[in-house]
């Protein structure tokens, strides 16, 4: 009679545990909730991606004192696009600093970053 080998249960692969890991794995998306309840998807500029590098260049130019309009004309972009680039970079930096980790639970498919038009009950 041969002895049976004990079976070892293989652990399921662990999913992302932080918001940054989930975003890098494209397992979650960031959204802003509008006052009317609809959701606006927000981009996450991962470190090293071309869009992030472009946004960092725009942010550097803004810090040097250039106006959004000047940058937009120079890059042949709209003013709104230049603004969105700097906002997306700021959001990416907030995520990397862990500012939104409390809003993410492993397994979530989307994370509401902010609610537009929400009244702050602390300040009125």
Per-residue pLDDT tens over the stretch 59-105: 999 999 999 999 999 999 999 999 999 999 999 999 999 899 899 99
Buried-state track 70-81, b at ≥16 Cβ within 10 A, e below 16: ebbeeeebeeee
> How many CB atoms within 10 Å of residue 106?
14
Task: Give me the sign of the Cα torsion angle 99, 103, 106, 111.
Answer: negative
Reference 41, options 88, 95, 105; nearest CA is: 88
123 or 90: whose pLDDT is higher? 90
Average confidence score pLDDT of the chain: 86
User: Hey, which bits of the chain come out as E strands?
Assistant: 29-33, 39-42, 110-115
């Amino acid at each position: 009679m041969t002895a049976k080998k004990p079976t070892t249960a293989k652990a399921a692969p662990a999913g992302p545990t932080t918001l940054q890991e989930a975003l890098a794995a494209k397992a979650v998306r960031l959204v802003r909730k509008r006052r009317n309840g609809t959701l606006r998807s927000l981009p996450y500029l991962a470190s090293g991606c071309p869009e992030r590098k472009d946004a960092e260049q725009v942010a550097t130019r803004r810090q040097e004192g250039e106006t959004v309009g000047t940058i937009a004309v120079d890059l042949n972009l709209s003013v709104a696009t230049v603004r969105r680039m700097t906002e997306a970079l700021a959001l990416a930096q907030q995520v990397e600093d862990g500012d939104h980790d409390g809003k993410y639970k492993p397994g979530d498919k989307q994370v509401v970053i902010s609610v537009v038009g929400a009244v702050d009950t602390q300040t009125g």
